[in-house]
Amino acid sequence: MRSDSPSPNRVLLVLMLAACAAWLGLASVSVAPNRIVPGTAYLAAEAVGWPLALAGCLPMLAVAGLAWRPDERSLRLSLAVVLGLMMWLPLWLAINAMLLIDPDMPQSRLGIGPAVWLLLFLLALALIELRTRLALSRLAGWGLVVPILVTWALCLAWWLAPLALVREYQARSAQFLAAIGHHLALVGAAVGASLVLGVALALAMRRHERLERLGFGVLNFLQTIPSLALFGLLLAPLAWLSANQPWLAALGVSGIGWAPALLALIAYSLLPMVRNTFVALEGVDPGVIEAARGMGMSRSQVFLQVRLPLALPVLLEGVRITTVQAIGLAAVAALIGAGGLGTFIFQGLGQAAMDMVLLGALPILAMALIADALLGALASRLRDGSLTSPGGAR
């Protein structure tokens, strides 16, 4: 930021003008009599009339105006307005629900229109931009999201029963929660197994150079094969195995289901895990190791007290990549009957029930973002050293 006369923040300007255009020009909600029939779209102006719709532009134009002279104060003000807008959107949906949904038709539902999605996206970008310009910490950045999530949660719980997504959820809430649990279990098992296997493999590869080349060759090869193909290719041998080995069948192993899914997930997870562990352990400054040796530390002391703690942030980075990747791949695994949130996506696609697709896709997106944020934060804490108090070193 320039100190004396800040030039206009064109990013916010562009975002807000685009938001206004989306608000006025795109359908903000749609109303459908049931879950399959495509709904009728309503512009904001069609729902509440032009004067009110135009008034809705005012806060965005205000932010655009503030962006003209983006000093600290006006940026903070903009932040408040943007937060307010994001908290207001669920209320807007609730208002629409009251105005447009006939309470006598229990099946009729309110769909979220492109204007609202786009507005959410643009406002989120504005939030990121403001966070960067105000140099807010990671924690403060996430703190901003909390009030937004709270308002959305409250609105969803009390006033947004006619929302299509809510209707869809209520129809299969037990199934939904089970799917989340299943999804998490699959991801957890895959990441856990690949962590153990990956670290072991990386350690072995550091010892044997030939194993190193072979290992990376095979893992790279596996990573290249698209997930759907790998799931498919595992299907045949596992089906054959379970048909011929009764004890495997008794364990629940079969061509479709959790067994090929887990195997494929582990196979995919191994490459990032091994690569990061290997790079992390190799990347430790040789001077530090030399010094540790010189002080008289034994091999195992050097490894446990010096090399491993120093390698931990990079290793954790591997866990982050693996987890985010596994959350997405586990969704594909639903195709071969592994369950999880992907089931909703593919069933929804099959029945052309878009709300069901959303019910599967949105939580997956959220899970990936949360896992990324949490593990990323942990890794950066580790890197700053605030958590690496050397246990037995003193």
* Contact footprint for another protein (CB under 8 A): 2-4, 9-11, 114, 117, 125, 128-129, 132, 221, 224-233, 235-236, 239-240, 255-256, 324-325, 327-329, 331-332, 335-336, 342, 345-346, 348-350, 352, 354, 357-358, 360-362, 364-365, 368-369, 372
- Residue closer to another protein (CB basis): 2 or 210: 2
Smallest separation (angstroms) from another protein to the CB of 240: 8
- Residue closer to another protein (CB basis): 148 or 284: 148
Smallest separation (angstroms) from another protein to the CB of 59: 20
- Residue closer to another protein (CB basis): 173 or 224: 224
- Token readout for 153 is 């949660």
Smallest separation (angstroms) from another protein to the CB of 354: 4
Smallest separation (angstroms) from another protein to the CB of 50: 26
Residues 6+ away with beta carbon under 8 Å from 65: none
- Residue closer to another protein (CB basis): 255 or 309: 255
Contact 138, 121 (CB under 8 A): no
Largest CA distance in the chain: 82
- Residue closer to another protein (CB basis): 30 or 151: 30
Smallest separation (angstroms) from another protein to the CB of 328: 2
Smallest separation (angstroms) from another protein to the CB of 361: 4
Residues 6+ away with beta carbon under 8 Å from 11: 67, 129
- Residue closer to another protein (CB basis): 50 or 117: 117
In three-state form (DSSP H/G/I as H, E/B as E, the rest C), the secondary structure along the chain is CCCCCCCCCHHHHHHHHHHHHHHHHCEEEEEECCCCCCCEEEEHHHHHCHHHHHHHHHHHHHHHHHCCCCCHHHHHHHHHHHHHHHHHHHHHHHHHHHHHCCCCCCCCEEEECHHHHHHHHHHHHHHHHHHHHCCCCHHHHHHHHHHHHHHHHHHHHHCCCCEHHHHHHHHCHHHHHHHHHHHHHHHHHHHHHHHHHHHHHHHHHHHCHHHHHHHHHHHHHHHHCCHHHHHHHHHHHHHHHHHHCHHHHHHCCCCCCHHHHHHHHHHHHHHHHHHHHHHHHHCCCHHHHHHHHHCCCCHHHHHHHHHHHHHHHHHHHHHHHHHHHHHHHHHHHHHHCCCCCHHHHHHHHHHCCHHHHHHHHHHHHHHHHHHHHHHHHHHHHHHHCCCCCCCCCC
Report residue 82 CA to chain centroid gap: 22
Smallest separation (angstroms) from another protein to the CB of 357: 5
- Residue closer to another protein (CB basis): 139 or 300: 139
Smallest separation (angstroms) from another protein to the CB of 234: 9
Smallest separation (angstroms) from another protein to the CB of 80: 20
- Residue closer to another protein (CB basis): 199 or 329: 329
Amino acid at 266: I
- Residue closer to another protein (CB basis): 77 or 369: 369
